[in-house]
Amino acid sequence: MEQIAITGMGAVTPLGVGVRRYWNSLITGKSGISKITAFDASDLAVGIAGEIKDLNPAEHMPRELIRQTDAFMQYAYIAAKEAIEDSCIVINSRRTGIVMGTALGGITTTARTQESLSEAEHKKVGPRFIPKILGNVAAANIAIAYGIRGPSLTISTACASGSDAVNTACMLIRSGKADAMLAVGAESVLCPLVIYSLSNAKALSHSADPETASRPFDKNRGGFVIGEGGGALMLESMTNAKKRGAYIYGLISGGANTSDAYHVTAADPDGAGASECMRLALNDAGLSPRDIGYINAHGTGTINGDIAETRAIKSVFHDPPPISSTKGATGHMMGAGGITEIIACVKAIETGIIPPTLNLDEPDAECDLDYVPKSARHADITHAMSNAFGFGGQNSCVVVSKYEMR
């Protein structure tokens, strides 16, 4: 089976723009969560988020395109640009494709447009509204900019979308339909509509302290913190990567997708679907549980979700490796998290550093694994796993492996 090489990476995160800033902030224990500044959130039940602040889109993309796109599309474009440039690939237009992952697409534009329409005396909606909210148009803008004419798909599997974009891209390469695939995940859902809904569902943390609000696996966790951003990976067949002498960061050695078939929003409390997904991903990679040296957990900080994931990990790994949830630093980036967390796995293997789980002061008695609390840790890692789970019982796992030059 053809190996899948990772030859380029890009990230737009609440911790900073660019993979280097993202990674350095992760391992030094910085938090990207703060009070919302994109709009007045003073009258909302939740006024904090992992918001993108240090970004001037005009430095990365044409001004005309900025006016025509939702924020999630801009994050996708900028992350993709970094990954493409990082890979130094000369795109073969018909043998290069793109898979986009996003949970809610342009929901902020939808909410803002409806609010303006309701209040306006003259009912008018701009002609760019539809292409500004469609998930696949994020991929289309990237394809247009770089002449990518190969397979193009958009995945929407809730918070597993980014991870599933990577798995789908790998399947397309292995099937022979492409030599290279750009996998992109992006999300921007910071608007009152989404906050009200998730808050009323008791999914969000109501902590008033931004830096300590996201508390995966901690006894005093109270829900997740919304994050936003984008991530991208340039993936190539090993044949293609070697042929052009590309630098190879690592390998996507396996992946899987399953459904809980249990509940629309709640995870199976025993973690049965998640554990099956991890087993299938290991099998796809040709590895055993003891080969995995690090797991980047989904770990959102919800009461039941963290327990379910802990149970799932225990059922697969009889002696679990170190685990951390980087959502303590970034918040829950939804469609973007699946890819930026895979990037964290790549960097952990490359640098021998495991990023910490922030704010893990007192572990929940039912979350009793090694979650690398508060501070980064050095470790020799050859294989790592990234978990991404979403509403609808979506489970997605990706296994990343060190590239050994031969």
Please say if 367 is a catalytic residue.
no
Instruction: Kindly report the three-state secondary structure assignment for every residue of 346-375.
Output: HHHHHHCEECCECCCCCECCCCCCCCCECC
Catalytic residue among 170, 191, 277, 298: 298
Q: Give the integer Cα–Cα distance in Å for 276 and 254.
A: 14
**Contact between 316 and 292 (Cβ < 8 Å):** no
Q: Which helix (H) or strand (E) holds 385?
A: strand 383-390
- How far apart, in whole angstroms, are the C-alpha atoms of residue 70 and residue 133? 7
Residue 298 is a catalytic residue: yes
Q: Which two three-digit tokens encode residue 335?
A: 């469609």
Exactly one of 191, 332, 345, 383 is catalytic; which is it? Answer: 332
Active-site annotation holds for 332:
yes
Cβ–Cβ under 8 Å, residues 323 and 382: no
DSSP string across 196-224: HHHHHTT-B---S-HHHH--TTBTT---B
Tell me which H or E stretch contains 259: strand 250-259
The number of C-alpha atoms within 13 Å of 107 and in the hemisphere containing its C-beta is: 16
Fill in the DSSP letter of residue 103.
S
Read off φ and ψ for residue 229, nearest 5 degrees.
150, -165
Q: Catalytic amino acids?
A: 159, 298, 332
